Amino acid sequence: MKFGYGLLTGQRPPGSDASYETVYEETLALAAMAEEYGFDTVHTSEHHFFDDGYSPSVLPLSAAIARETDSVGIGTSIALAPLYDPVRLAEDAATVDILSGGRFTLGLANGYMQREFDVFDSPRRQRAKRVEETVEICRRAWEPGSFDFDGDLFAYEDLRVEPKPVQEGGPPIHLGGTSEPAIRRSADLCDGHIGIVYYDGAMQYKSSFEQFADNVELLESMRDVAADAFTLSVMQYTHVENDPEGAWETLEPPLVYSRRKYAEHADNRDASRWDRETMTDERLAGLRAGAMVGDPESVIERLRAYEDAVPGELHFLARMWHPGLSFEEHADALRLFGEEVIPALS
């Protein structure tokens, strides 16, 4: 099993007295710590127009992480492909790959927040096709020489993109998503798939590990995952402390906050259901059940079950950065995970 640390989103919740400069300095310090304590990768994530500063610029942040680290892999989990000009994305990704010495992975997804599509003048109805063409354009742009492309949305003739990435053929491209079409696109077009494990208790949105395992079966029906070196990643909210109840007490406030922020920006989702004062016991219990939270021993036990459920090597993306926790709380959890959990499973 491999381990990723993230998601480094740079959020500054209301009431925080930290400057954005401090938030990003601490972000880079945690990325360096993740490398020191044995994580294989660190991950950034993109959204726009959040009042807490959710990172809108994952490629510059990835480049900064590259300069603060030496060996850890760096991935976007994810960049919102439909919001980018494909050629500019290919250029920026190649630059990050160069600055990192060939350590970059480009994780992409469709996106779902309508305002993001509106502001970036990207029709939401075209998002799947834009992802498909963006992946193909990036791959062609990273090949030696110039290329032609004639798609439904984009067309280029005799276009040469320089500089080329360090990695032959360019950075691996992974695709996130839980729907069957997204999984099929991962198998057809990409080098890896990023799944998610999460419950909300009310079952209005749920992605269990069992469902992830079912998705892996679908991927396996389309390609030989192990033989193709196809990367299977699963992401889950994670927090570890030596006291299991203390771990949940620490995680609950930022987790509830995060879910509310996503709901505020999503279409047709009632954000008030994430008000802690009125939240149902069922929803709160679901949040806890869907998080990888507890002491190292219990986390190791659960991760062993994950490892047994999929072919080949699983990449567990531990979503351990939580808006509202202090740098010391983040560092303590990272250190404990690196000292106790990773050695037991690597």
CATH number for position 115 = 3.20.20.30
Q: How many domains does the chain have?
A: 1
pLDDT by 10s per residue, the chain, length 346:
999 999 999 999 888 999 999 999 999 999 999 999 999 999 999 999 999 999 999 999 999 999 999 999 999 999 999 999 999 999 999 999 999 999 999 999 999 999 999 999 999 999 999 999 999 999 999 999 999 999 999 999 999 999 999 999 999 999 998 888 999 999 999 999 999 988 765 544 456 777 888 888 888 888 887 777 899 999 999 999 999 999 999 999 999 999 999 988 886 667 887 888 888 888 888 889 899 999 999 999 999 999 888 888 899 999 999 999 999 999 999 999 999 999 999 8
Q: Are strands 314-319 and 231-240 parallel, antiparallel or unpaired?
A: parallel
Half-sphere exposure of 328 (CA within 13 A, CB side): 0
pTM summary value: 0.95
The pLDDT score that the predictor gives to residue 204 is 47
Task: Give pLDDT, residue 7.
Answer: 98
313 Ramachandran zone, left/alpha/beta (phi>0; psi -120 to 50)? beta
Geometric angle at alpha carbon 277, from 273 and 283, rounded to 5°: 45
Classified as helix, coil or strand, 310 is coil
Note down the domain range covering 256: 2-345
